[in-house]
Amino acid sequence: MNLATVFLQLIKGMGVTIEIFFLTLLFSLPLGLVLSFGRMSRRKPVQGLSKFYISVMRGTPLMLQLIVVYFAPFYVFGMRISAGYRFTAVILAFALNYAAYFAEIYRAGIESMPVGQYEAAKVLGYGRAQAFCKIILPQVIKRILPPVTNETITLVKDTSLAFVLAEAEMFTIAKQIAAKETSVMPLMAAGLFYYIFNLAVAGFMEYLEKRLDYYR
């Protein structure tokens, strides 16, 4: 087994893993905020629809959602599925899934804020949107960082599920090399990559927590 070749192949797969990770966060974090507003809406149809969506996405396996997102255009609309759609389907399924989890985290953070914060903002002349963006949201972000960190770390590991759609991320490549070389070393190396990646993510999130800790 040429270790240098194995390492380069894993690095290539790691690039796909990192791409899935960042694109998922890019789309799921803002979508989760929108969903949390829908979940807290006073309009029953909007609240019910948001609640149902969150329930479905959290209550069904991500693996199943990947399959549905990839094959639905063909079986439901009769559209042809191109090879290029595979990566798009992975990002779409991941973003839709994680948005549901982030929505509940946002909701918990927003609803934990004392009503007095909104009343004080109103007295100071802030509108509802201004009060939320300038006063409530910064405090909510600080409160929800720990659970967001947990979900983010889970996302790093969940990127390996892209193999369902034959997307060659790092773990898929590690399995292929391991099968070809009849060795577990590629899998151990992939595990080390995941661990280092998660250490970096956890370290960055801890840095953000300290930066936002106004008690220090």
* Residue 160 to residue 191: CA distance in whole angstroms: 11
Residue type, 54: I
Q: Mind listing the pLDDT tens digit for each residue in 3-57?
A: 667 777 788 788 888 999 999 999 999 999 999 999 988 899 999 999 999 999 9
| Start-end of H helices in the chain | 3-39, 44-59, 62-77, 85-111, 115-123, 128-131, 137-158, 170-181, 185-212
pLDDT number for residue 1:
57
| Distances 6 to 49, 135, 171 between C-alpha atoms, Å | 47, 50, 12
Concatenated DSSP letters of 87-112: HHHHHHHHHHHHHHHHHHHHHHHHHT
pLDDT lower than 70: segments of the chain:
1-4, 214-216
Q: Which domains does the chain have, with CATH numbers?
A: 17-169 (1.10.3720.10)
pLDDT number for residue 163:
85
Closest C-alpha among 176, 196, 195 to residue 6:
176
* Residue 135 to residue 184: CA distance in whole angstroms: 52
| Distances 214 to 12, 139, 142, 191, 209 between C-alpha atoms, Å | 41, 10, 10, 36, 10
pLDDT number for residue 215:
47
